[in-house]
Amino acid sequence: MAVLAAKITQMIKKEVFKIKSPNGYGGIRKLSGNRRRPFQVRITKGWEIVDGKEKQIFSTLGYFKSRQEAMIALAEYNKEPFDIDTKKVKFADIYGILWENNFSKMGKSSQASYRAAFKKCEPLHNMPVISIKKAQMQDIMEKTSNMSKASQNAIKVLLRAIFKYCLENDIVKKDYSAFVEYTAVDKESTRSPFTVSEVKNLWANLDYVASPEGDGFLSQEWLDTILIMIYTGIRINELLDIKVEHVHLDKRFINLHGTKTKAARRIVPIHKDIFPFFEKRIALQSSEWVFPGNDNARLSYSTYKYTFFNKMIKDFKFNHNPHDCRHTFATFAAKSQMDWLLVKRIMGHTSKDLTESVYTHSFIEDIVKEIDKFKIF
């Protein structure tokens, strides 16, 4: 590599590369504008007929700071061509490139941070980057919601770096990492279940409507969502992912889709006490989502948490975060002496004690009966 680089540098100085490259060799072009890596190396992948004329199909090999670097890369490629099929490039492959070129040259603390973040992204390692969407990345954030915000930030920084590289090199067309939302709980927040008196207070104020703040969005009723999370154990993003078609009112269960992991895709029974909430919302719903935003689109995690949940908690003078709803369900499920294996399934916990999920009619009936054992007061 060093010898080849030296030869190319010498050839550049002698302007040898003014000679036209052979057909199929590839080319270099300088992109306009103020760019850190303005030199694009393109490889001819084939030809197509457009308006009766042959047109080359290009694939980008990479972007480089100088023409010299671009020429070296192009020469290296032609010396030993490699597969740049974007459909085969995996998450771990890009991490390896970034580690070699960037991360390994950073300080020890930064290196440790990227290693830890990469480890937490294990479900993505062998996935082609082009197939990774927001849902898969958001699931990583959900599974690390018990970590500090700093740790989750490290994960998001890694995801952004991976997709930035892929976007720059035409491996992906869209950066879904930009839409990933934090789920970590503030350290200062008290992580404890709702008390019996607090839950009673929520039930006693079902007519509560948060006051509008400028746009009138808060005139909608959202208190039911807190009780739904308490009585089902589902997470915020799982709640917001529920579509009308997922709710089976006749059998009293939700076919929770959410992300594509086995744990996330599960049957969640609807407790008899919160059943009217779903009946009412679906009867009045004009959106495909059961809990939509004011434009009938899916409501985001951050909008729900900071615009609705936090305001309601403040108005009731509680000290809780959204994860406390899930913690409350687990706490009172144990006190209600529910079957713990079924509780794990309802909550989407993966366990070696759980067999492959096959949801028969009898299983759904059993799990609906089990949820009605859940009692807080």
Measured between alpha carbons, how far is 313 from 262 in angstroms, rounded to an integer?
32
CB distance 248 to 350 below 8 Å: no
pLDDT digits (tens, 9 = 90+) for 338-361: 988 889 889 887 544 444 455 677
Q: Are residues 10 and 114 in the same domain?
A: no
pLDDT of residue 18: 43
Measured between alpha carbons, how far is 332 from 326 in angstroms, rounded to an integer?
10
pLDDT of residue 320: 92
Cα separations in angstroms, 87 against 26, 80, 170, 234, 285: 21, 20, 11, 34, 39
Q: Are residues 202 and 170 in the same domain?
A: no
The whole-number average pLDDT for the span 129-138 is 91
Cα separations in angstroms, 304 against 67, 214, 315: 49, 16, 15
25 domain-assigned: yes
Measured between alpha carbons, how far is 226 from 312 in angstroms, rounded to an integer?
9
Q: Are residues 200 and 320 in the same domain?
A: yes
170 or 19: which carries more pLDDT confidence? 170
The whole-number average pLDDT for the span 364-373 is 93
Q: Are residues 251 and 305 in the same domain?
A: yes
pLDDT of residue 283: 92
The CATH number assigned to the domain holding 214 equals 1.10.443.10
pLDDT digits (tens, 9 = 90+) for 219-261: 347 899 999 999 999 999 899 999 999 999 999 999 987 544 4
Q: Are residues 74 and 109 in the same domain?
A: no
**The last residue of a domain, from among 83, 101, 128:** 83
Number of helices followed by number of strands (H, E) in the chain: 15, 6
pLDDT of residue 219: 37
184 domain-assigned: no
Locus of tokens 């190319």: 8
Lowest-pLDDT range of 9-18, 57-66, 86-95, 282-291: 9-18
**3-class DSSP assignment, residue 244:** helix
282 domain-assigned: yes
**The last residue of a domain, from among 65, 83, 101:** 83
Tokens of 352: 């070696």
DSSP state of 305: I
Counting every residue written for the chain, the total comes to: 377
pLDDT digits (tens, 9 = 90+) for 29-72: 888 888 888 888 887 665 555 676 656 667 777 788 888 888 87
Q: Are residues 363 and 229 in the same domain?
A: yes
pLDDT digits (tens, 9 = 90+) for 297-343: 888 888 888 888 988 898 889 999 999 999 999 999 999 999 888 89
CB distance 209 to 221 below 8 Å: yes
pLDDT of residue 85: 63
248 closest CA partner among 214, 296, 209, 282:
282
pLDDT of residue 188: 45
Q: Are strands 253-256 and 266-269 parallel, antiparallel or unpaired?
A: antiparallel
pLDDT digits (tens, 9 = 90+) for 92-132: 888 988 888 888 888 887 888 899 999 999 999 999 999 99
Q: Are residues 95 and 77 in the same domain?
A: no
Rounded percentage of the chain residues whose pLDDT exceeds 90: 34
The domain containing residue 23 runs over which residues?
A: 2-83
- What's the predicted TM-score (pTM) here? 0.53
The whole-number average pLDDT for the span 84-97 is 80
CB distance 224 to 277 below 8 Å: yes
198 or 83: which carries more pLDDT confidence? 198
310 domain-assigned: yes
Measured between alpha carbons, how far is 367 from 353 in angstroms, rounded to an integer?
17
Question: What average pLDDT is seen over the chain?
Answer: 80
> Is the sign of the CA dihedral 361, 362, 365, 367 positive or negative?
negative
Please report which confidence band the pLDDT of residue 371 belongs to, taking 50, 70 and 90 as the band edges: very high
SS3 percent helix, strand, coil of the chain, rounded to 5, is 50, 10, 40
Please report which confidence band the pLDDT of residue 216 belongs to, taking 50, 70 and 90 as the band edges: very low
376 domain-assigned: no
pLDDT of residue 40: 86
pLDDT of residue 326: 93
The whole-number average pLDDT for the span 73-98 is 74
